[in-house]
Amino acid sequence: MKASGKCTMWLDGPLRSPTFGVEIEFIVRHQQNGLQDLYQPHIHEQLRQHLSDEDVKVNSIYGTHGYSAWTVTGDVSILPYGDGEDINRSLTHTAVELISPVLPVGPLGFQEIHKVVALVQVKFDVKVNQSTGLHVHVGNGSDNIDDQCIQNLAQLVTVFQYQIDSIHPDSRINAYWAMPPSSSAALRVSEGPFATAEVLQRDERETIGLINPGGERAVAYNFTNLVDPWSGKRTIEFRQHQGSLNAEQIVAWAEFVTALRFASHASHRQAPFGRLL
């Protein structure tokens, strides 16, 4: 396939380096050894210290390194006791969101995922449940992503929504925190995939407004960081995957969404489907 001359999102070069990052949500189970163990910050600090001791660059609670280091925090969407499973009430359960630095797409970035996930599981009793998710951000280093690539990727994930759904469990389809493109009324086009693709042939802001109406972020494919001046990251976020502490699964999902973006680059400059269907 010959790539469009306009769409430069994933070309190699000093200013065009594909990057990604992950947000891994999970739960730490632990015995309460004192009053401080009831509080999330104490468990989060233990995790920060453990990773730092193993030569992993980690942000302090003040986030001094930004997206050049791992970040340990919580997330109110994680329900340690709340998805109907049997719970050992003798243990305290603490919600954790582990956010990676900006990583290069390829072996070095994927090896970092394997290393850190292994370190977490060596030290802590961890689990995931239906309230936890795995989010992958894709970007272009410090460069912006141009309009044509945004449009192409929006078309791919919208038209092939149900094929992508098929690799996820039922709990992650039409999920409250990862609503699909079809939840946008403007994208429920009855005439078929080419008609849907045509609806998305707009400029950057219009395309994003259609796939993430009202600036909604709790969607399977979150493009809003690209137009939010306060977000601090020029990325597209893939939010549909269930929570996982299996490094192979995490890397496989990162590789899959990376492949989608490469497809968005390789596709025709007007619409991808003439070459991909």
Number of domains in the chain: 1
Residue 100 sits in a domain whose CATH number is: 3.30.590
**142 is a domain residue:** yes
Q: What is the pLDDT of residue 247?
A: 98
Nearest to 143 by CA among 9, 251, 5, 7: 9
Residue 32 domain boundaries: 19-276
33 C-beta neighbours (distance < 10 Å), count: 8
Calculate what percentage of the chain has a pLDDT beyond 70: 81
Calculate what percentage of the chain has a pLDDT beyond 90: 48
**86 is a domain residue:** yes
Reported confidence tier of residue 143, pLDDT bands at 50, 70, 90: confident
Q: When comparing pLDDT for 133 and 265, which is higher?
A: 133
Q: When comparing pLDDT for 202 and 87, which is higher?
A: 202
Q: What is the pLDDT of residue 274?
A: 45
Q: What is the pLDDT of residue 82?
A: 64
Reported confidence tier of residue 6, pLDDT bands at 50, 70, 90: very low
Report CA 174 to chain centroid distance, whole Å: 16
**1 is a domain residue:** no
Nearest to 184 by CA among 157, 147, 150: 157
Q: What is the pLDDT of residue 13?
A: 35
In whole angstroms, give the CA distance from residue 253 to residue 134: 9
In whole angstroms, give the CA distance from residue 250 to residue 255: 9
In whole angstroms, give the CA distance from residue 139 to residue 235: 5
pTM for the model stands at 0.86
In whole angstroms, give the CA distance from residue 151 to residue 156: 9
**14 is a domain residue:** no
Joined together, the tokens standing for residue 206 give 């219009």
Question: Does residue 106 surpass a pLDDT of 60?
Answer: yes
DSSP string, the chain: -PPPSS--TT--STT---EEEEEEEEEEEE---SGGGGSHHHHHHHHHHHHHHTT--B--TT-TTGGGSBEEE--TT--TT-SS----TTSEEEEEEEE---EESSHHHHHHHHHHHHHHHHHSEEE--TT-EEEEEEEBTBSPPPHHHHHHHHHHHHHTHHHHHTTS-GGGSSBTTBB-GGGSGGG--TT-HHHHHHHT-S-HHHHHHHHSGGG--SBSEE-GGGT-TTS----EEEEEEEP---HHHHHHHHHHHHHHHHHHHHS-SS-THHHH-
Reported confidence tier of residue 231, pLDDT bands at 50, 70, 90: low
**157 is a domain residue:** yes
Mean model confidence pLDDT for the chain:
83
**5 is a domain residue:** no
**88 is a domain residue:** yes
Q: Which range, 80-94, 156-170, 252-266, has the best average confidence (pLDDT)?
A: 156-170
User: At a CB cut-off of 8 Å and minimum separation 6, what does 66 contact?
Assistant: 59, 232
Reported confidence tier of residue 240, pLDDT bands at 50, 70, 90: very high
**7 is a domain residue:** no
Please tell me the least confidently modeled range out of 210-214, 218-222, 226-230, 249-253: 226-230
Q: What is the pLDDT of residue 214?
A: 83
In whole angstroms, give the CA distance from residue 52 to residue 119: 11
Question: Does residue 101 surpass a pLDDT of 60?
Answer: yes
Q: What is the pLDDT of residue 35?
A: 54
Joined together, the tokens standing for residue 203 give 């400029």
